Chain A
Amino acid sequence: MLYELLPHILNGLALGLLFALVALGFMLIIGVMEIINLAHGSLFALGAYVAMAILAPDGGIPLSAMEPWYDLSPWIRYPVSLIVAPVVVAGVGMGLEVCLRRTYGKDPLYGLLLTFGAALVLEEIIREIWGPSEYFLPIPREISGGFIFEDLIYSTYRIFAAAFSVAMIGLLWLFLNRTPYGAVIKAGAHDSEMVRALGYNLRILRMLVFGFGTALAAIAGVIMAPIWGIRPVVGVDAVIPAFVVIVLGGVGSFWGAVTAGVLVGLVVAITAAFLTDWSLLSMYLLLLAVVTFRSRGLAGKASVLER
């Protein structure tokens, strides 16, 4: 029984680690700027679209100058899209942060509302450029498809996605905990005024952290694209699990978010194995069960959310 569930568990792990990646970017922004970025999902979607524009001729940039590029091997184009898409999205995110500056120090609700407006605008822009139809990301053949191991079918790409997410989460942890930049970001989440008093430029710090957080969403978007497909509304599908992961894991806790992400992914995937239609509901039930008993989630501290 458990053995037959193995492919589902693997799928859930990949999904959960990606949720965790989205949620960690989201949490960095909550930490330093005390802002709930409702546009996070739209930036996730934008990441997938930008990657597609770089990778695929059909949804891509319709310039004849681009044609030699599309002839190159996907093994060159795919890594490039994985780097360029987050950079482009980080630029958009930093632009959004500039708009957000006026809401700092006010009721955190205003930041939430502004980013909701931004989500609406971004989704409409995506619709304007690419239309409402669904696209697929043409990834290199070696990592797509599936294989059979002991009578069970596994998806190669999910394994790649899980491994990639683990690497990204590991790098992020190293960045936050083993570099001076990470120290400044963590200090900014703790007490941003003190960081300013120590001579760091808070405006630039906030802008960079916002860009960094949205870049993580974009990377997750590119990795998720072959699993979910690329649609304008895909952002909502990503941002909701990210909320759930944050609330479940507890705000401000790195490993809380990772644990919650994996938990959510596993619960969704295992429910899907038995009741496909109801898989997402299980995520919310899990949230209710945890939050009813531990109001700050698994490992949360007091935060802006409670104000």
Chain B
Amino acid sequence: MARSNFRPQAWINTPILISFAVFGTMPLWIEQAGFYQYLGLEILIWIIFALGFNLLLGYTGLPSFGHGAFLGIGAYVFGLTQFNVVENLWLGLIAATVLTGLFGAAVALFISHRRGIYLALMTIAFGQILFFIASKWTSVTGGEDGLLNIRRLPADFWLFSIELQDTAMLYWFAFGVYAVVVVLLWRMVNSPFGKAIKAIKQNEQRVAFLGYNVRLLKGTVFTLSCAVAGLAGALFAMAQEGAYIQVMNLQWSGIVVLMVLIGGGFVSFWGPVVGVILYFVARDILGAYTEAWLLWFGLLFMLLVMFKPEGLAGMWQDAVKRLRNAAKREAVEPAAPKALAE
């Protein structure tokens, strides 16, 4: 009987399968496309991070401007676990995810009753606090120099172990993580919990009147989103073979918001994915021509906020709607003369 409730489309759908097909084969064709393996890895890690972030921004409507701090914490925790506790990939990843989640929960205690702009300001403050501590606590984080020589640990399975030294191998591993994260997140946004957080975005007060504990829901989303950021941070530490302070600063936290919004995180689960790809590809292509590529990217972003805040995913949805309407009109028009003839 329990199986009758099982809806496969709540776990997986066509876009997820398409994304598996694209990302699952990326190391095979990315060099032919004129890019390099590391870019693919970077994109995939930031996609994991941005998908987690969009739980906050796109689904719950909580604009966090300090999320980069949690990516950084994940990276530091991964490195410190490896140096001081145990050299094991799985334990490192779990430590990064759980501890970053705990950091997120602690921050959520202070901010989860706030909303909108006030929340944005408070997340800026917390992001700065964490950035500041990381930059000054040099004995632990290495300060401005960062935590160097973080190893790409081998992935131990029960019977065998896979070396991840090679960037392509690490990419495959990150792809495995991506697959798990994307399916779980998709399942989550299609659960009653997902419905509740979407309702919070629309009208927090009504959700509260319906008897939900809004503060708890918001705190949970924040914690989950931070945990995903920690996981992405751990992968990032492996990719960069180090943990650095830069991702924790205000500009990087803002750039994550920018990526998610350009892609269309407000209206689509896939917005962050599109946005991250666009950002990194633009960085590589525009960056080859001009040092000031962020200037042009920033201008593009401003235009988008002014004219189409739903981002690329919003444009896509509009185009699909227009095509459907056109098809409908075509289907109706031949009928019209017939009606006249009668």
Contact = CB atoms under 8 A, between A and B. Distances in A.
B133 A306 contact: no
Nearest to B300: A117
A114 B117 contact: no
Interface of A: 36, 38, 99, 102-103, 106, 108-110, 112-114, 116-121, 124-125, 127-128, 236, 240, 243-244, 246-247, 277-278, 280-281, 284, 287-288, 291-292, 304-307
B327 interface: no
A103 B117 contact: no
A102 B305 CA distance: 9
A106 to B, nearest CB: 8
B187 interface: no
Interface stretch (B33-41, B77-85, B94-102, B124-132): B124-132
Nearest to B129: A284
B306 A124 contact: no
A247 B125 contact: yes
B129 A102 contact: no
B177 to A, nearest CB: 29
A120 B136 contact: no
Contact of B128 (A120, A121, A240, A304): A240
A120 B292 contact: no
A108 B291 CA distance: 32
A281 B129 contact: yes
Given A120-B254, A236-B250, A281-B129, A108 B305 contact: no
B16 to A, nearest CB: 28
B63 interface: yes
A116 B110 CA distance: 24
15 contacts: A110-B309, A113-B301, A116-B254, A117-B302, A117-B305, A120-B301, A125-B295, A127-B291, A243-B125, A244-B125, A281-B136, A284-B128, A287-B125, A305-B117, A305-B121
A5 B118 CA distance: 35
A244 B124 CA distance: 10
B298 A109 contact: no
B215 interface: no
Chain A contact residues: over half helix, strand or loop, or mixed?
Answer: helix
Chain B contact residues: over half helix, strand or loop, or mixed?
Answer: helix
B135 to A, nearest CB: 9
Interface in B287-319: 291-292, 294-295, 297-299, 301-302, 305-307, 309
B117 A108 contact: yes
B257 interface: yes
Contacts, number: 111
B117 A124 contact: no
Nearest to A281: B132
Given A109-B116, A116-B258, 18 more contacts: A99-B302, A113-B301, A114-B305, A118-B302, A120-B254, A121-B295, A124-B294, A124-B295, A125-B295, A128-B291, A240-B124, A246-B121, A280-B132, A284-B125, A287-B125, A291-B122, A305-B117, A307-B117
A14 B258 CA distance: 35
Greatest chain B CB density within 10 A among A106, A113, A125 is at A113
Interface of B: 63, 65, 110, 114-118, 120-122, 124-125, 128-129, 132-133, 136, 249-251, 254, 257-258, 261, 291-292, 294-295, 297-299, 301-302, 305-307, 309
B125 A36 contact: no
A103 B306 contact: yes
A121 B121 contact: no
Contacts of B299: 117, 121
A117 B301 contact: yes
A103 B132 CA distance: 33
Contact of A116 (B114, B249, B257, B295): B257
Contacts of B301: 113, 117, 120
B305 A243 contact: no
A50 to B, nearest CB: 18
A305 B121 CA distance: 9
A306 B124 contact: no
B152 to A, nearest CB: 32
Closest 4 CB pairs of A and B: A124-B295, A120-B298, A121-B298, A117-B302
Contacts of B298: 117-118, 120-121, 124
Given A243-B125, A281-B133, A113 B261 contact: yes
Contacts of A109: 63, 116-117, 120
Nearest to A114: B305
A277 B132 CA distance: 10
Contacts of A292: 110
A28 to B, nearest CB: 16
A291 B254 CA distance: 24
A135 to B, nearest CB: 19
A31 to B, nearest CB: 13
Contact of B118 (A116, A280, A281, A306): A306
A64 B298 CA distance: 34
A110 B305 contact: yes
B120 A36 contact: yes
A119 B302 CA distance: 10
B62 to A, nearest CB: 10
Contacts of A236: 249-251
B63 A112 contact: yes
A120 B305 CA distance: 14
B18 to A, nearest CB: 29
A10 to B, nearest CB: 25
Given A99-B306, A128-B295, A306 B250 contact: no
Contacts of A246: 121
A125 B261 CA distance: 23
Contacts of A108: 116-117
Nearest to B135: A277
Greatest chain A CB density within 10 A among B115, B121, B132, B297 is at B121
Contacts of B297: 120
Given A121-B295, A247-B121, A288-B110, A102 B306 contact: yes
